[in-house]
Chains A and B, each alone.
Chain A
Amino acid sequence: MRKPRILGALCAITSLGIAHAQTAEVDHAKADAEFAKFRAEMEDSNPAELFELKGEELWKVKRGPKSVSLAESCDLGLGVGKVEGAYVQMPRYFADANAVMDAERRIVWCMVEKQGFKFADIAKKPFQGANDTNPPEITSLVTFVAGHSRNMKFAVPLKDPKVKEIWEIGKEITNYRAGPYDFSCNTCHGSDGKRIRMQNLPNIGTHEGAVKGVMGWPGYRMTGGVMLTHQWRMNDCFRQQRFPEPKYASDTVTALLTYMTANANGAVYKGPGIKR
């Protein structure tokens, strides 16, 4: 009884494969539309919200060797403890650290400087692995902060010369070719209409492309059920580029995030998202 059925299934798959090759372009657009539907449905109840909740708790509670909360000590650029709208206005320049920082880097800075955590401990495992049940605390904190910029416009303060300088560096990095394949970010993300397998590659130097590159981060990845930040995305692209992965919370990653987020200025941020 079983054998014929399996054979039948194999035949079906083979002929589907051929059909797919012939109409790859059409199928690609269709798959994209299907995923958009799925995302619209899921955004209504995005598991990312669970991490917003966890992050809120972590933000408010007194923690670390100094036993202070981030809510009473951490300035994300709009005043101590103020999270509303902070995410879409970062990266920005912070005088107390004398550096331009993206949201994740700033929260790490607060955890170290204000709460007394050790950077090395946070950097040991900054992103959720496929086998981890939960993301690290920093990811939940970033997700909480990002959730408080939902439906607000990206407004990276590019008029600030310090931010503009980092933006220029970010732009330079996207053009920098090196490594075994002589890749730069722009090899994959520097022109319109490129894709790898079924994944569209946003052209991050344009406004539209940058919007695609920043929207939905931090995001809940359906594959494996993991919560990941924009910093993770950068690290993973360096891996795809066959570069060494940057040090956690590095200048390089902030520069790239400054470049892309500022290019997306004016677009409405939809909040923590869903990724495939």
Chain B
Amino acid sequence: MADPMKIRASLKGDVADIRVLVSHPMENGQRKDNAGNTVPAHYIQTMTVEIGGKPVIQGQVGTAVSRNPVFGFKVKGAKAGDKVVIKWRDNKGETRSDEAAVA
């Protein structure tokens, strides 16, 4: 199973500053391994962010994004204690969902 994300969501006024660290190889399918074989593409394709059960961000992610990427979002209208749920799905169909509370 995929490794957990690390999510931080801090409130500044009514804006939630969300930072998420994602554990993912993000292989672009163009790299060769030590034996000279192409490393198959393996990367996140979609990502969603929900706050308090409401989807606020739906994003498409591609091969130009680095390994173990960091994403930052600013979301207006959030309240302390709101549940932040972040999900991703990669090209192999693997998914991961993690959550944190706005603090």
Contact = CB atoms under 8 A, between A and B. Distances in A.
Interface of A: 42, 44-47, 49-50, 53-54, 129, 131, 133-134, 220, 225
B4 A53 contact: yes
Given A45-B8, A45-B21, A131-B31, A53 B70 contact: no
Contacts of A133: 25, 27, 67
B interface bracket (residues with beta carbon within 8 Å of A): 10 to 19
A50 B68 contact: yes
A49 B67 contact: no
Nearest to B31: A131
A128 B72 CA distance: 27
Given A53-B4, A54-B3, A47 B34 contact: no
Nearest to B25: A133
B26 to A, nearest CB: 8
B3 A42 contact: no
Contacts of A225: 66-68
B70 A47 contact: yes
Contacts of A129: 34
B76 interface: no
21 contacts: A42-B70, A45-B6, A45-B19, A45-B20, A45-B72, A47-B21, A47-B70, A49-B21, A50-B6, A50-B21, A50-B23, A50-B68, A53-B4, A129-B34, A131-B39, A133-B67, A134-B25, A220-B68, A225-B66, A225-B67, A225-B68
A90 B30 CA distance: 42
Nearest to B23: A50
Contact of B3 (A45, A46, A53, A131): A53
A133 B66 CA distance: 12
Interface string B10-42: 000000000111010101000101100001000
Nearest to A50: B23
Given A45-B70, A47-B21, 18 more contacts: A42-B70, A44-B19, A45-B6, A45-B8, A45-B20, A45-B72, A46-B21, A47-B70, A49-B6, A50-B21, A50-B23, A50-B68, A53-B4, A131-B31, A131-B33, A133-B25, A225-B66, A225-B67
Contacts of B21: 45-47, 49-50
Nearest to A46: B21
Contact of A131 (B8, B34, B66, B72): B34
Nearest to A44: B19
Contacts of B27: 133
Contacts of B31: 131
